[in-house]
Structure 1
Amino acid sequence: MTMISIHSLAPGELDAHAEALAGIMAQTVNDGAAIGFTHPFSEADALAFFTGQVFPEVRAGRRKLLTAKRDGETVGTVQLIIALPPNQPHRCEVAKMMVSPKARRQGIGRALMQALDVEARAAGKTLITLDTRTGDKAEPLYRAAGFRTAGVIPGFALNPDGAALHATTYMYKNL
């Protein structure tokens, strides 16, 4: 039986997970995920993102970084930005939801989203927001996790291949 476990990384655990996280990000971006990057995108690019931008935020307590393991192998990750402007102490934001292409459709994304709810509640948050490429395969996952559409912005960002702009759907969930 396949075992899925979700873990919120503590600051002292980050470096040990850096390569696995970079691998997942490179696979995901190169598979076409619209998570803020364009092609070409390498594991070195992903490693620089995690070590230069994400890890300092986790160490400062402004962001949570969750990993998903399937049978002991890291196959997914998601971030929860908990430090927002002073007028939004009740809100947090989902960022960089990724499941390795080889591990999709196995409940890993759902497990990560459920764990995010727990993290958000533990941080005293009552509203979670996110944005996703309109029509993306992740959109039904977010709806199934209880997120509702707030609106759509056309021409929001480039697709990873840089060939065209895509719309972005903003979503929210009250806890």
Structure 2
Amino acid sequence: MYKIKENPEDFIVEEVMDLKLNENGRYSYFLLKKRNYNTEDALRYVADRLHIDRRKINSCGNKDKIAITTQNISIENLEKAKRKDYDFNDISLKYLGQGDLRLNLGSHKGNKFIIIVKDASEPKEVKEFLNLFGPQRFSKNNHLVGKEIVKGNFEKAVSLILEGNGRYEEEMRLRM
């Protein structure tokens, strides 16, 4: 039986972004790298460490917890003294510059993944696949959907999706 996400190093996600920098912009952009944190907990941690209101921090979306993820964040009106790199062990921030746009859900171009599947019967390299796996994707059945996708049972995965009640259910029905 295959195994995925046994540890964070088995699931690496890198957000793809094209930031437009402007040295006088009201938003500070950082590259947030986190290990074994969900996105919301990581953003709360950053707000606490920088002594700022959590509501000033925005991201392009949620990334997995049991993973090593890299994503962009924007912080509104951050004082100049705090515009630098930080290392908080399992969370780090790399200062990228200033800009005019607040990052929001979907502001990024996409995500790159490295997924290690252990104990697989036949190793396969996959260059591209739809981003349909993870807790934010479908419904309470998402772990079952992901399992069927990894097993190659795509019809069963689609059936489970169509049974779901997630927030993207209608959009996914239209695409399928």
TM-score > 0.5 by shorter chain: no
Pick the structure with more helix per residue: 1
When normalised by structure 1's length, the TM-score is 0.22
Pick the structure with more strand per residue: 1
Which protein shows a greater Rg? 2
